[in-house]
Every structure is written in structure tokens, then in C-alpha cells.
Amino acid sequence: MTRAGRIFWTRCAVIGGPVALLEAACRLRWISPLVIIPPSEMVAAMVSLLGTEEVLASVGQTFSTVAIAFVAAVVLGFVLGAVIHGLPRLRRAIDPLLASYYSVPFFVFYPLLVALFGLNALPLIAIGFIFALPAMLIATLLGLDRVPRVFRKVARMHRLGWARTATLVILPAALPNLFQGIKLALAYAFIGVIAGEFILSSGGLGYAIAYAYESFENRTMYGLMLFVLLSAIVTNGLLYAWEARQQRRRGRG
Amino acid sequence: MSDDTAAHAQLRGVTRVYPGGVHAPPVHALGPLDLDIAPGEFFSVVGPSGCGKSTLLDVLAGLSPPTAGSIRFEGKPVAGAVPDGVGVVFQEDASFPWLTVHDNVAFGLRRAGMDTAETARRVDYAIGFMGLADFAAAYPAQLSGGMRQRVCIARTLVLRPRLILLDEPFGALDQQTRLLMGDELLRLWRETGATVLLITHALDEAAMLSDRVGVMSARPGCFIDLVETGWARERDSRIVSDPAFGAITARLWSSLRTESMKAIGRE
Ligand SMILES: Nc1ncnc2c1ncn2[C@@H]1O[C@H](COP(=O)(O)OP(=O)(O)OP(=O)(O)O)[C@@H](O)[C@H]1O
Ligand SMILES: [Mg+2]
């Protein structure tokens, strides 16, 4: 078997083993269906739920909220990172703030955001954005730090202007770090939005899961949970594949 | 002055002090230093580590401003930008990891908007010249340190600079390859008629390749000796068996010995 094949089958066993075990435990009634339903039923529930207009609307709402928060965080995180990188004084001043950023439990401010913006998509976009922004900002700072000084000299030797130095030299040199920021920003935006919907909102996947939980609709709850899980895995997997392709091009795959 | 126009590159009273930071005092790295490099001359610089050789190269290329003094290239003052016709090969590995060897070498020509046929011709020639023909499609991560340095040399050569500044370009190479690359550099120098300034820490390399060798003092670097080798333009690494070669190397070493001891703190 090839190395890639072995890795694939090992991965299947690592994931499939516990799933099969859970399936057996549920079928044999070691675990009550009131607590957890068998994974096969979760899949069936997910498929049938995705056929309903109501759920599709929730999916659309959540995904578009995440997408807006994510794109805003990536763009603004990059721009702010680039600006702060160019202002060492400012950077020294806010470095400790950035370093301790993720120790603040931001969700305590979520009700405040709802009070400010009302019970609509805005507080959700805001919480996803607030959560994802620093990841991108920090990755941008790191990426720009790691551009070797000699690359800028090479750019000057080729007498490139400011814009071409940025796009042809600095950006590609910083790209591996920017990828890290993009991946993290997506994960954080997703977490922020779903959690916000969970706490307080009038729609979206998080809300639907919380609603199903409160009304003891186990099938719906697990079906939706599985869908959220799979969505996160698939989007992250796509970014991972994209990154791996870039790295292979640099010969470090 | 008449000799002002004769020099291809000219430095007068050039000094470079790196401004200190919050916790660091200013560093007087270079000068004051005068130097005239004649058109078509092969000039080498040797000096103890940290004496300001790379600083000299930066200042001469217009990459960093002198604290005092003036620099002229082809009669025109150098200030704030690298003049057209000056090519630099840096001491550090400066190959771009996201480009193949071919694209690295083509980088400057594409930026300058040269047409593709001419670009391809020059790039292929430079890649072949540097012995990288089999690696044109490889990425720098797949090459050795010495090969990456050759990519950088090729990237600068395709620009056809009239003044080539090389900062320890063969530092990552073994002695045999170094001698052969030296021969290639001499061939290139003869073919193009370019002026070459080579920074090296190998005294034998300086003695073998150069028309003239400048010996620098410990920091702040100044020239303490300028040695004319008197070699014919047609020369190669076989001159290492010439008795004059031994004499030149010995003179370089005697000039450098005390300075090198100063540089490592044993005066
Ligand atoms: N950007 C900088 N800021 C402050 N000091 C610097 C900077 N670059 C170099 N120096 C200092 O200037 C001095 C000369 O440095 P330089 O790199 O020119 O030496 P060098 O002769 O090229 O050394 P080597 O042979 O080791 O390459 C050193 O003492 C170094 O610490
Ligand atoms: Mg140096």
C-alpha cells in the first residue's frame, strides 16, 4: 500500500471506529435514544432536514453571516496589520493588547451588541468579526515580520516602485503566514456566529439547534449538529488543500 | 578634476553610522573612505568580519544613504536609489521561494517589460552559464545553498549591469567549485567588459581574480592597503601556481592579520 493510502485508511479507522462504536451502543440501548440517537439516524435526519425550506433558510442565513464576518475580518485584518506594521511605535503600544486579546470572553458583550444593533444579523456579524479580526491581524504582522530584509533590497535593485514591491515581493513572501490567518479567521468567524445565534437570535443554524434542544427534538438537533460539524470540516479541508497546493509549489509539500 | 570623470564609481569621504535604537548606541560602521574604481576594473575587498564590507556595498549601490560623503556612478551622484546599470548579488540567500529557478532569473527582465523571446534567450543563457540548466523548473527549496546563490547571481547577470557588486557570492561553495566559479566570473567579466566589485573573505580568491584588492581595517572600515596584482586580463585559476600569487596573498595576510585580531577582540 502507498504511504498516502495507509494514511487514508488510518484516518478512516480513527474516525470510523468511534462512530461504529457509538452506533452499536445506541442500537443495543446502552445509550438511551433520548440522550443520543445513532449516527446513521443523524445522517438520515440531516438529509431529510436539508430538504426542508425552513432549514435551508437557516443554512443560508448562517452561511451568509459567517461569510460577511469572515471577509470583513480578512480584509480589515490585513489592512490594519499592514498599517500597524508600518508604525512601530503604535505597534509597541498595542502589542500587549493583541497578545491578550483571546483571553477576553467576548460573548459577555454579545447582549450589548444586540442592544446596540437590534435582534438582526448585525450583532452576529459583529461578534464573528470581532472574534476573527485579530487572528488575521496578528498573522499579517507575523508574515510581514518574516519577509527577509534582503528581499526589499532585491526589489530596490530592480527599481520596483512601492506598489510592485508590495504585490510582487512582499505579498508572496508573506503568503504562508497570511494563509494561517485566513484559516483561523474562518474558524473563528464560524464559531462566533453559531455561538451568537445559540445565545440570542431569531434565526440561523445555532438558533435552530438551541430551539430543537429546548423542544426535545433530538433528531432535528443531532441532524443539524452533524451538518454544522461537516460544514466546518469541509470548508477547512478546502482551505487546507489550497494551502497544501501552494506549499507544494514552493517545494515544501 | 579630470580623474573624477575617469572613475566608473567614485567614493569621497563616505561614512556610514547606523543610528542607535532605544537600547542600542549608534554604530560607526564605515569610513571616512575614498575610492575610485576604474571602468572595467576587477576590484576586490577583503576585511575582517563586521568591518563594514556589506555596508560599503549598500552605500555604493544606493541602497542606504551615507551619513557623510558623496558617491558617484558614471559621473552622476548616487542618492536614494539604485542607479540603472548597477547590479547587486547579496550576501544572504535572496532567491524567491515562490518562483522556480527560471522565474527567479527572469524576474528583473519581466519587470522591465522586455519581450518574451529576448527574456527567454537571456534567461536560458544565464541559467546555463551558472550550471543550473537541469534545475530550471525546480524551486529554491529543492536546491543547495550554493545553488541558490548561483540563482541570485544569474538573476543579477541577466540585467547586464555595467557595475556588478557581489557580496561573498561563493561563501556557500566548496573550495573546488569556488575556483571554477571564479574562472566563470573572470570569463563573464572579460566578455561583458563590466566593472566588478567583489567582497570576499577568501584571500586567495581576491588575489587570483582581481586587478586590485582593497584591504579594510576593523570597524569602522577604511582601506589600509590597496594591492595591485598586475595580472593580464586573460587569466584563470591556474595562476595560483604563479610565484607572484603567493607574494600577493602573503601581503594581503600581513595587512589583515592585526586587523582581524582587533575584530575578534585580541589587540
Ligand atoms: N542595519 C544595521 N543596523 C545597525 N548596525 C548595523 C546594521 N547593519 C550592520 N550593522 C553593523 O555595522 C557593522 C558592519 O556590518 P557589515 O554587515 O557591513 O559587516 P561585514 O564586513 O559585511 O561583515 P561580514 O564579513 O561578517 O559579512 C557591524 O558591526 C554591524 O553590527
Ligand atoms: Mg557582510
How far is B263 from B74, CA to CA, in rounded Å? 34
Eight-state DSSP code of residue A107 = G
Q: Which residue has the cell 506594521?
A: A85
Please judge whether A148 and B86 are an interchain contact, meaning their C-beta atoms are less than 8 angstroms apart.
Answer: no
pLDDT of B237 reads 84
Q: Report pLDDT digits (tens) over A148-204.
A: 999 999 999 999 989 999 999 999 999 989 999 999 999 999 999 999 998 888 889
Those residues whose C-beta lies under 8 Å from the C-beta of residue B195, and which sit 6 or more positions away, are B8, B9, B37, B38, B39, B40, B41, B42, B43, B162, B163, B164
The amino acid occupying position B75 is G
Q: Once rounded to an integer, what is the mean pLDDT over residues A51-80?
A: 94
Residue B228 in grid coordinates = 595591485
**Residues with pLDDT less than 50, chain B:** 1-4
B223 and B167: one domain? Answer: yes
pLDDT confidence of residue A3: 84
Distance CA B161, CA A156 (A): 15
Tell me what the mean pLDDT of segment A202-222 comes to: 90
Q: B16, B17, B18, B88: which to mutate for ligand 1, most atoms within 8 A of CB?
A: B18
CATH code of residue B258: 3.40.50.300
ipTM metric: 0.90
Minimal Cβ distance to A150: which of B82, B92, B98: B92
Beta partners for residue B157, in sequence order: none
Banded pLDDT at A251 (limits 50, 70, 90): low
pLDDT in tens, A117-141: 888 889 999 999 999 999 999 999 9
Last residue of a domain, one of B160, B185, B206: B160
* Residue nearest (by alpha carbon) to ligand 1 atom 4: B18
Q: Please give the C-alpha separations between residue A244 and each of A74, A146, A156, A168, A176, in angstroms, as whole numbers.
A: 20, 20, 31, 21, 10
If asked whether residues B17 and B119 sit together in one domain, one would say no
> Could you tell me what percentage of chain B is helix, strand and coil, using 3-state DSSP and rounding each to the nearest 5?
40, 20, 35
A176 touches chain B (CB under 8 A): no
Q: Do A159 and B139 touch (CB under 8 A)?
A: no
In chain B, at which residue ranges do the beta strands (DSSP E only) sit?
A: 9-18, 27-37, 42-46, 68-73, 76-77, 86-89, 163-167, 195-199, 212-216, 223-228
SS3 state of residue A104? coil
Say whether both B171 and B253 belong to one domain: yes
Give the atom of ligand 1 at the shortest distance from the alpha carbon of B47. 21
Task: Quote the CA–CA distance of B1 and B15 in Å, as a whole number.
Answer: 22
Note the maximum CA span of chain B.
Answer: 58
pLDDT in tens, A5-21: 888 899 889 988 999 99
Are B111 and B184 found together in one domain?
no
Q: Are residues B144 and B215 in the same domain?
A: no
- Kindly state whether residue B126 falls inside one of the protein's structural domains: yes
B44 and B152 both lie in a single domain: no
Sheet holding B27-37, edge to edge: B27-37, B9-18, B68-73, B76-77
Q: Topology of A38-252 in CATH? A: MetI-like fold (1.10.3720)
CB of B53 sitting under 6 A from ligand 1: yes
For an interface test with B, which of A154, A164, A248 has the most B Cβ atoms less than 10 Å from its Cβ?
A154
Q: Are residues B11 and B48 in the same domain?
A: yes
Residue B90 inside a domain? The answer is no
Residues B62, B49 share a domain: yes
Query: Are residues B30 and B126 both part of a single domain?
Result: no
| pLDDT one-digit tens code per residue, A67-103 | 999 999 999 999 999 999 999 999 999 988 888 888 8
Query: B-contacting residues of A 100-159, CB under 8 Å?
Result: 148, 150-151, 153-154, 156-159
Residue A102: which of A58, A140, A57, A132 has the closest Cα? A132
Which residues, numbered 63 to 122 in chain B, qualify as contacts with chain A under a Cβ-Cβ cut-off of 8 Å?
Answer: 63, 81-82, 84, 86-88, 90, 92-94, 96-98, 107-108, 111-112
Q: Which three cell numbers stand for residue A49?
A: 432536514
Question: Is the CB–ligand 1 distance for residue B260 below 6 Å?
Answer: no
Count of C-beta atoms within a 10 Å radius of residue A112: 10
Residues B237, B178 within the same domain: yes
Task: Give backbone dihedrals phi and psi of B5, rounded to 5 degrees, phi first.
Answer: -80, -20
Classify residue B238: in a domain, yes or no: yes
Distance, in angstroms, between B168 CA and closest chain A CA?
14
Q: Do B76 and B146 fall within a single domain?
A: no
pLDDT band at A253 (very low <50, low <70, confident <90, very high): very low
In this complex, the residue of A148, A160, A172 whose CB is nearest that of residue B98 is: A172
Pairing of strands B212-216, B42-46: parallel
CA distance B56 to chain A (A): 14
CB A143 within 8 A of CB A177: yes
Q: Categorize the per-residue pLDDT at A144 as very low, low, confident or very high, splitting at 50, 70 and 90.
A: very high
Same domain, B231 and B183: yes
- CB distance B140–A154 less than 8 Å? no
| Domain hosting residue B131, numbered range | 95-160
For residue B5, the model assigns a pLDDT of: 56
**pLDDT attached to residue A163:** 92
Distance from the first to the final alpha carbon of chain A: 20
Structure confidence at residue A216 (pLDDT): 87
Q: Is B64 in the pocket of ligand 1 (CB under 6 A)?
A: no
Q: For residue B107, what is its C-alpha cell?
A: 524576474
Phi-psi region of B5 (alpha: psi -120 to 50; beta: other; left: phi over 0): alpha
In a domain, B221, yes or no: yes
Q: Which of B160, B178, B197 is the last residue of a domain?
A: B160
Kindly list the residues from chain A whose CB atom is less than 8 angstroms away from the CB atom of residue B156: 157
Domain boundary among B129, B160, B191: B160
Number of domains in chain B: 2
